[in-house]
Structure 1
Amino acid sequence: MDRTVPAIVMLVLALALVVLLWVGWRGRKRRQADVPEPQPVPADTGAERFRADGQYVTTTTAGDWLDRLAVHGLGLRTRADAAVYDGGVLFERAGSGPLWVPAGSIDEVRLESGMAGKFVERDGLVVLGWRLGDHAVDTAFRTRVPEDKTALKAAIEDLMSSGRSGDTGRPQDQEEE
């Protein structure tokens, strides 16, 4: 009898905490309803330049590493592969579906130490800054093999520079006349 009351109180508190977390996540999704769904993976991604396995950490609002995006499964942490192709970067996420970032949407790539609840050694995360519709977002990825992070970052930088130096993403007949 003397342990029943504290056990019930703890159970009620745990249940209340779960309900509050669910309500908060649902509210976040409602506030982020204007964030468009990412583009589907195109049939032709181009040649694969680099691949690394690791963990998809999250996608947040650019510049606000705590503002995790709840919509479209972008805020779910999961095991993933990051692959750099001629056409963009593909995060093949286990249980969440693929996330395709077209090369023309990428603004920057950098190394960071943490994002939205995941903190690692100095410069342990590869963070991709890109545009999702009208929204600037940051996507973090942690490679399983530490040496792969610099190679992944270099492959994305190479993708960005090759896109800027030649292809504008527009058909030739729409080029300036």
Structure 2
Amino acid sequence: MNRPLFTLIVIAVVVLALLGMWLAWRARARRDSGVRTAESAPAGEVLASFAERVLYVSTTPADDPLARVSIPGLRYRGYACLTVRTDGVTLEVVGEAPVHFAADQILGYGTAGRRAGKAVESGGLALLRWSADGRELESSFRFTDRADQVRFAAAVDRVAGTGSEPDTDAAPRPQTTPTAPSQEDEK
């Protein structure tokens, strides 16, 4: 096989692969076009706000953490401004339109170690669990500071009305059992 023919074959394979990825992404966008978020921005009291200190990773179905959902404003990974209010959540990924979640859409908070687009230590990703059009979805975030993740968890739980404590991976719980005195205590 001569060099020009080999070059044409490689170019054709690359073009077909790129075309296949583009068509698959368009099909995913059509499949997820029915998922609706809140039309208006929440206007309640701010419980927690994170201005471009959080990485938005992806939105996935609750039962399939490796299948990305393609919703306008949530399609692409990037740094984001995230505001949790008493009546909902607003997420604005840099370069995308803001996405609003009403309080009645918020199901709660969770943690994970992997999602479409990112794998980290156990509990390293914060999850915003929400529902839309009968589907349960999870949007995942990576906070640079663990304390911010704990504040996010508390704020989301307050909006969702779950009132549960954050996962043990996210924040250590206070010790409630008495401990034996150490040698230093006896001195």
TM over 0.5: yes
The percentage of aligned residue pairs carrying the same residue is 28
* Residue 39 of structure 1 pairs with residue 38 of structure 2: yes
* Residue 128 of structure 1 pairs with residue 128 of structure 2: yes
One-letter identity of the residue aligned with 2:86: D
Partner Cα distance (1:155, 1:62) in 2: 20
Partner Cα distance (1:147, 1:51) in 2: 13
Shift of residue 3 of structure 1? 4.5
Equivalence for 1:22: 22
One-letter identity of the residue aligned with 1:49: L
Partner Cα distance (1:162, 1:136) in 2: 16
TM-score (norm 2): 0.76
Q: CA RMSD in A?
A: 2.2
Q: How many residues align?
A: 161
Tell me if the contact between 2:112 and 2:124 (Cα under 8 Å) persists in the aligned partners: yes
Partner Cα distance (2:83, 2:25) in 1: 29
Partner Cα distance (1:88, 1:62) in 2: 19
SS in 1 for 2:72: helix
Shift of residue 38 of structure 1? 1.5
One-letter identity of the residue aligned with 2:8: I
Tell me if the contact between 2:73 and 2:93 (Cα under 8 Å) persists in the aligned partners: no
Shift of residue 80 of structure 1? 0.2
Tell me if the contact between 2:73 and 2:98 (Cα under 8 Å) persists in the aligned partners: no
Equivalence for 1:11: 11
SS in 1 for 2:11: helix
TM-score (norm 1): 0.80
Partner Cα distance (2:31, 2:131) in 1: 18
Tell me if the contact between 1:128 and 1:138 (Cα under 8 Å) persists in the aligned partners: yes
1:36-75 deviation per Cα after TM superposition (whole angstroms, max 9, x unaligned): x321343x51121112221111111222112211232423
One-letter identity of the residue aligned with 2:59: T
Q: Please, which runs of 5 or more residues in structure 1 have no aligned partner?
A: 164-177
Shift of residue 88 of structure 1? 1.1
Tell me if the contact between 2:58 and 2:75 (Cα under 8 Å) persists in the aligned partners: yes
Tell me if the contact between 1:60 and 1:75 (Cα under 8 Å) persists in the aligned partners: no
One-letter identity of the residue aligned with 1:38: T
One-letter identity of the residue aligned with 1:33: S
Aligned ranges 1:93-112 → 2 under 5 Å: 93-112=93-112
Equivalence for 1:56: 56
**Greater CA deviation, 2-11 or 107-116?**
2-11
Partner Cα distance (1:104, 1:34) in 2: 18
One-letter identity of the residue aligned with 1:24: A
One-letter identity of the residue aligned with 2:153: K
